């Protein structure tokens, strides 16, 4: 393994990054069972994916039941399959990732990018339903909405700099997502209001965000028996439009995510774990420890820092890969200590990335 590290040292940085990401993709593809691997060469548009009758349809029906219980008799946003969660700007429709419509694709997603669980699926649906509700009734055009949330036409920035723990915004999706844009602030507020047993009146009672929640509650009461001003809208990218093969889709995704994690971790991880030359009894490979807990580490660092989940996952995969390449070990019985340190380490790197757009300052 040390020879592999030395061999890469002579390769230019951009090529090392590409080789590293490509290697990770191949490794993840190899983990998939044969019946899943056979889908890799097929175009997504040719898979015959449909929302109706798929595993994800029941969550859409659950969303509709929650809207019904809130008294919204005429608001039922149309849902469709696309490449990621989303709601096209100004269009009261909800895009759902295509892989949730097929069990084999869901298994592949679990290997490549950590599949959403039931709780997360409903969180995303409620969030996107907030966008669609805003567009369906054109709330964003009213003075009260602008006073509470801000100008709807504010420039949309992916590289927003949040203020952690600000009580002007609710907490729903991992990170500080409501601070990204007034439209996201509304969608997050709507999602908290819609979530059964969220206890928003008590939880947010002393927060400035309570005024936004009360606005959503008032707005919903006003339109509960009113037909939407914009009942439906245009889809952006449907599964029928997706001409990439499944493999091409995931390779592109992994390149995008992995490119953000171009950082040397060798010195830090050598301090954290036991180097190869000090091998002794009662130890285990450090990369196995990281892999066992990679998902929960990714979840927690994402939630508390607000860095995009794919970037955090790529960071944790780089930690695991570096531990393997350096042949580092962990003491058996000290797993809790290592996990505390890994969480603190990952959070620090992620916060550097969030505030400076770099994991490590040179």
Residue 224 belongs to domain spanning: 45-239
Distance separating alpha carbons of residues 55 and 49, to the nearest angstrom: 11
248 falls within a domain: no
Pinpoint the alpha helices (H) of the chain: 2-9, 13-31, 34-37, 57-69, 103-113, 118-136, 143-149, 182-194, 200-203, 210-223, 246-259, 266-272, 286-292, 294-305, 309-325, 335-356
pLDDT on residue 310: 83
Contacts of 48 (CB under 8 A, 6+ apart): none
16 pLDDT more than 80: no
Contacts of 298 (CB under 8 A, 6+ apart): 114, 309, 312, 313, 316
295 pLDDT more than 60: yes
Q: What is the mean pLDDT of residues 77-104?
A: 96
Query: pLDDT (tens digit, 9 = 90+) per residue, 32-56?
Result: 778 888 899 999 999 999 999 999 9
Q: Residue 187: which of 172, 202, 199 has the closest Cα?
A: 172
DSSP state of 172: -
Residue 91 sits in the same domain as residue 234: yes
Ranking 95-99, 158-162, 338-342 by mean pLDDT, the lowest is: 158-162
Residue 264 sits in the same domain as residue 199: no
Q: How confident is the model at residue 15 (pLDDT cuts 50, 70, 90)?
A: very low
38 falls within a domain: no
pLDDT on residue 281: 81
Residue 24 sits in the same domain as residue 166: no
8 pLDDT more than 70: no
Quickly count: other Cβ atoms within 10 Å of residue 336's Cβ: 8
253 falls within a domain: no
Contacts of 263 (CB under 8 A, 6+ apart): 315, 318, 349, 358, 359, 360
Residue 226 sits in the same domain as residue 272: no
Residue 203 sits in the same domain as residue 273: no
244 falls within a domain: no
Query: pLDDT (tens digit, 9 = 90+) per residue, 92-103?
Result: 999 999 999 999
Residue 277 sits in the same domain as residue 310: yes
115 falls within a domain: yes
Count of structural domains within the chain: 2
pLDDT on residue 278: 60
Give the predicted TM-score (pTM) of the model.
Answer: 0.84
Residue 163 sits in the same domain as residue 280: no
């Amino acid at each position: 393994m040390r020879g592999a590290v030395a061999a890469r040292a002579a390769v230019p940085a951009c090529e090392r990054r590409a080789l590293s990401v490509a290697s990770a993709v191949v490794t993840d593809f190899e983990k998939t069972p044969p019946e899943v691997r056979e889908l890799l060469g097929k175009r997504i548009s040719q898979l015959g994916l449909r929302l109706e009758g798929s595993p994800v349809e029941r969550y859409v029906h659950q969303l509709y039941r929650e809207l019904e219980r809130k008294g919204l008799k005429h608001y039922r946003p149309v849902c469709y399959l696309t490449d990621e969660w989303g709601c096209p700007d100004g269009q009261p429709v909800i895009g759902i990732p295509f892989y949730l419509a097929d069990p084999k694709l869901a298994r592949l997603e679990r290997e490549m990018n950590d599949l959403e669980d039931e709780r997360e699926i409903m969180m995303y649906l409620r969030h996107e339903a907030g966008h669609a509700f805003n567009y369906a009734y054109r709330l964003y055009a009213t003075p009260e909405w602008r006073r509470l949330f801000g100008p709807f036409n504010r420039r949309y920035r992916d590289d927003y700099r949040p203020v952690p723990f600000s009580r002007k915004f609710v907490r729903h999706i991992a990170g500080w997502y409501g601070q990204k844009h007034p439209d996201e602030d509304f969608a997050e507020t709507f999602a908290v209001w819609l979530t059964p047993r969220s206890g928003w009146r008590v939880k947010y009672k002393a927060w400035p965000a309570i005024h936004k929640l009360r606005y959503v509650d008032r707005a919903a009461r006003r339109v509960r028996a009113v037909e939407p001003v914009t009942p439906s809208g245009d889809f952006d990218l449907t599964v029928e439009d997706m001409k990439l093969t499944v493999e091409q889709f995931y390779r592109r995704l992994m390149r995008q995510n992995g490119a953000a994690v171009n950082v040397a971790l060798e010195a830090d991880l050598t301090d954290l774990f036991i180097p190869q030359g000090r091998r002794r009894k009662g130890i285990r490979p450090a990369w196995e420890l990281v892999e066992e807990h990679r998902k929960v580490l990714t979840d927690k660092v994402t939630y508390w820092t607000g860095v995009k989940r794919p970037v955090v996952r790529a960071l944790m995969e780089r930690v695991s890969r570096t531990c393997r390449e350096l042949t580092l070990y962990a003491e058996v019985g000290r797993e809790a200590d290592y996990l505390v340190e890994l969480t603190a380490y990952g959070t620090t790197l992620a916060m550097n990335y969030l505030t400076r757009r770099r994991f490590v300052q040179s």
